[in-house]
């Protein structure tokens, strides 16, 4: 049985609009397991991104708490919270947000230089990541000189430069064509299987979901379904997809 790495307890995220409170995350209890590739699905507005942001510490919690290996996010002061976000987690967004006038390589090393690691070590790690992302030939190019998929792979390298234990991704293939998406998803599978990182990814894309060990389905800010795909080989995408589709049909989604 895999170890629990993140535990959410009675987690709530409320947004106030026009004087009304909406629980985008509505009293969620959840355990995320080490080295699991967890995907979060659900219809638009079901609270997927909100859950991802509060689980990762990128957004404030309204009530409840999130524990990383028993350390409460709420217990961290501002300095420790910033260090946590810099070093313990990586985050990949749909929009890549690379700095336009820096090369891909500089975009990645600059994120590593924010820590106290020796510059040489950061540079060596960045080059390793570029090899893994199959971007060695593009490393000196500006973000505007590469494809959307290559830019996203560079952004994934940036999210890994400080060797986080957990990688969060919010619709990382949302603005990519299907071949670029597959290349990006291959990278996530590799990060999970070879680097042994825990991954939590929000997606609408069934092609992304088939790569997961586990899928959580959100509805109205609550977990409405939780399935595992372990019984199928990772390469058996067809049966994985069939399993998901049957589950969704049975639930009337
Ligand atoms: N900053 C905000 N201010 C007010 N309401 C918000 C804010 N962010 C999200 N919401 C509301 O919270 C609910 C959940 O939003 P969230 O973005 O988490 O859903 P989602 O499942 O990720 O949606 P999508 O698939 O469209 O990205 C929605 O009703 C949304 O309008």
Q: Residue 50 pLDDT more than 90?
A: yes
C-alpha 232/C-alpha 253 separation (Å) is: 23
Classify residue 94 by its DSSP letter. Answer: S
Rounded to the nearest whole angstrom, what is the distance from the C-alpha of residue 96 to the centroid of ligand 1? 20
Contact 180, 149 (CB under 8 A): yes
Residue with tokens 């957004």: 59
Residue owning the nearest CA to atom 2 of ligand 1: 15
- In this prediction, residue 149 has a pLDDT band, given cuts at 50, 70 and 90, of very high
- If you average pLDDT over every residue of the chain, what do you get? 94
Ligand 1 closest atom vs CA 221: 14
- 28-40 mean pLDDT: 97
**Over the stretch 218-252, which tens digit does the pLDDT of each residue have?**
999 999 999 999 999 999 999 999 999 999 999 88
Confidence at residue 239, expressed as pLDDT on a 0 to 100 scale? 94
Rounded to the nearest whole angstrom, what is the distance from the C-alpha of residue 144 to the centroid of ligand 1? 30
Rounded to the nearest whole angstrom, what is the distance from the C-alpha of residue 8 to the centroid of ligand 1? 19
For this complex, say whether ipTM is above 0.90.
yes
The dihedral through the CA atoms of 65, 68, 70, 71 has a sign that is: negative
Confidence at residue 17, expressed as pLDDT on a 0 to 100 scale? 86
Q: Residue 118 pLDDT more than 70?
A: yes
**Over the stretch 63-80, which tens digit does the pLDDT of each residue have?**
999 999 889 999 999 999
Name the percent of the chain lying above pLDDT 90. Answer: 90
- For ligand 1, residues with CB inside 6 Å are 15, 17, 22, 24, 42, 44-50
Q: Residue 7 pLDDT more than 90?
A: yes
C-alpha 158/C-alpha 244 separation (Å) is: 31
Instruction: Tell me which of 26, 49, 52, 218 to substitute to probe ligand 1's pocket, judged by most ligand atoms within 8 Å of the beta carbon.
Output: 49
What domains can you pick out in the chain, each with its CATH number? Answer: 1-34+42-83+204-253 (3.40.50.300)
Confidence at residue 115, expressed as pLDDT on a 0 to 100 scale? 84
- 178-194 mean pLDDT: 94
- In this prediction, residue 6 has a pLDDT band, given cuts at 50, 70 and 90, of very high
- 197-215 mean pLDDT: 96
- In this prediction, residue 195 has a pLDDT band, given cuts at 50, 70 and 90, of very high
pTM: 0.95
Q: Residue 1 pLDDT more than 80?
A: no
What DSSP assignment string belongs to 145-195? Answer: GS-HHHHHHHHHHHHHTT--SEEEEESTTTTS-HHHHHHHHHHHHHHHHTS
Rounded to the nearest whole angstrom, what is the distance from the C-alpha of residue 142 to the centroid of ligand 1? 32
């Amino acid at each position: 049985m895999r170890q629990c790495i993140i535990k959410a307890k009675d987690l709530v995220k409320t947004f106030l609009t026009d004087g009304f409170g909406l629980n985008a995350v509505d009293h969620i209890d959840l355990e995320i397991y080490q080295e699991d590739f967890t995907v979060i699905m659900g219809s638009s507005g079901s609270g997927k991104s909100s859950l991802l942001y509060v689980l990762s510490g990128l957004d404030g919690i309204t009530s409840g708490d999130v524990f990383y290996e028993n350390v409460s996010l709420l217990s961290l002061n501002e300095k420790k919270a910033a260090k946590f976000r810099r070093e313990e987690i990586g985050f990949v967004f749909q929009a890549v947000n690379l700095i336009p006038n820096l090369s891909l390589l500089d975009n990645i090393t600059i994120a590593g230089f924010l820590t106290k690691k020796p510059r040489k070590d950061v540079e060596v790690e960045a080059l390793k990541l570029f090899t893994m992302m199959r971007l060695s030939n593009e490393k000196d190019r500006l973000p505007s000189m590469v494809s959307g998929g290559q830019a996203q792979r560079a952004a994934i390298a940036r999210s890994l430069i400080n060797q986080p234990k957990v990688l969060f991704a919010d619709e990382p293939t949302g603005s990519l064509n299907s071949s670029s998406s597959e290349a990006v998803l291959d990278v996530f599978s590799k990060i999970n299987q070879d680097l042994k990182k825990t991954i939590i990814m929000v997606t609408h894309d069934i092609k992304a979901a088939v790569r997961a060990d586990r899928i959580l389905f959100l509805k109205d800010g609550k977990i409405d379904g939780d399935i595992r795909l372990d019984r199928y080989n990772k390469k058996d995408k067809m049966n994985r997809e069939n399993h998901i589709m049957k589950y969704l049909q049975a639930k009337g989604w």
